[in-house]
Amino acid sequence: MTTVADSAAAAPSAVAPEIFVELDAVTFGYDARTILDGITMRIPRGKVVAIMGGSGCGKTTILRLIGGQIAPRAGRVTVAGQAVHDLDRDELFALRRKFGMLFQFGALFTDMSVYENVAFAMREHTDLPEELIRDLVLMKLNAVGLRGAAQLMPSELSGGMARRVALARAIALDPMLVMYDEPFAGLDPISLGVVGQLIRRLNDALGITSVVVTHDVYESLKIVDYLYFVSQGRIVAEGTPAEVRGSADMFVRQFVDGEPDGPVPFHYPARGYREELLANA
């Protein structure tokens, strides 16, 4: 298992992979509240990388920084060699067209059919004829096993099916990068396994780079190449799945084993329990 200090001291490999997404000493916050404090993260091209940590630790904020929705207070965020926060409006929109996004719980357009949901980005961002759009939509749906559901409405889908349609929509424009915000939330074990394997297979088949924000440790360990653990706005540990499984780091063990108390406390800060009970005695 690699800590932040170990990572900084490690010697570079003989053939370093191309870094596709990089956060370099990134700090972000709202007014006096700091959300991220000096985050450094490197995501190689073609890999699946997970960002894990407790609720409110800044995981989704990292996705928003990568997508250019917000700009860092300090540090740099680069994607494909471009500093995201230095791009003007047109340049940022051009970069975003190379991204795919799977939102938490899918976020399908409820008044559009499965087919129309997947076709939406193609119609918005390309001049492709409708015949070609049809072929591409069916191709994407076939990749997630739902070509036969093309004419169904989102209300007619199970949670797992809806998430797979959202995945087909996320890859509709053959993106370079796909970001997943809690892709496993609310899924039954079978659907969870199906979606996890689809993320891995599509990443490898299409040459995508994937960033997965998730709480699901065990499913992530099956499909990702590398994991970052975030706590209180900092990266507290990182490593490969094998390193995470064998880690003795207290934070990693608490998160992986689901312990209620540890480096992340169970109790919200408060004065002593006995003191408070006796305050009005």
35: left (phi > 0), else alpha (psi -120 to 50), else beta?
alpha
Mean pLDDT score, 33-42: 89
Which has more confidence, 4 or 77? 77
Strand partners, 259: none
Interval 216-242 mean pLDDT? 86
Tokens of 199: 């993320």
Higher pLDDT, 235 or 246: 235
Give the mean model confidence (pLDDT) for residues 164-181. 90
Question: What pLDDT does residue 134 have?
Answer: 92
- The average pLDDT across 121-134 equals 90
Task: Look at residue 264 in the predicted model and tell me its pLDDT.
Answer: 65
* The pairing of beta strand 74-79 with beta strand 19-30: antiparallel
Q: Return the pLDDT at 11.
A: 43
Compute, in degrees rounded to 10, the torsion defined by CA atoms 227, 231, 235, 238.
Answer: -30
Strands 74-79 and 82-83, sheet pairing: antiparallel
> Does the structure show a pLDDT above 90 at 49?
yes
pLDDT for residue 9: 45
Count of alpha carbons within 13 angstroms of residue 216, beta-carbon side? 20
Strand pairing class (177-181; 99-102): parallel
Q: Does 32 score more than 60 pLDDT? A: yes
Residue 265, number of CB atoms within 10 A of its CB? 9
DSSP 237-263: EEE-HHHHHT---HHHHHHHHT-SSSS
State the average pLDDT over residues 148-176. Answer: 89
Q: What is the distance between the alpha carbons of residues 230 and 14, in angstroms, rounded to a whole number?
A: 28
What domains are defined for the chain?
A: 4-98+175-277 (3.40.50.300)
Residue 281, pLDDT above cutoff 80 = no
Examine the pLDDT at 15 and tell me if it is beyond 50: yes
What residues contact residue 85 under an 8 Å CB cut-off, 6+ apart? 68, 71, 72, 76, 77
SS3 assignment, position 102: strand
What is the structure's pLDDT at 47?
Answer: 92
Question: Rounded distance, CA 60 to CA 66, Å?
Answer: 10
Q: Letter for the amino acid at 12? A: P
Task: Give the per-residue pLDDT at 244.
Answer: 80
The span from the first CA to the last CA of the chain, in angstroms, equals 50
Rounded to an integer, the average pLDDT of 104-121 is 87
Whether the predicted pLDDT of 280 surpasses 50: yes
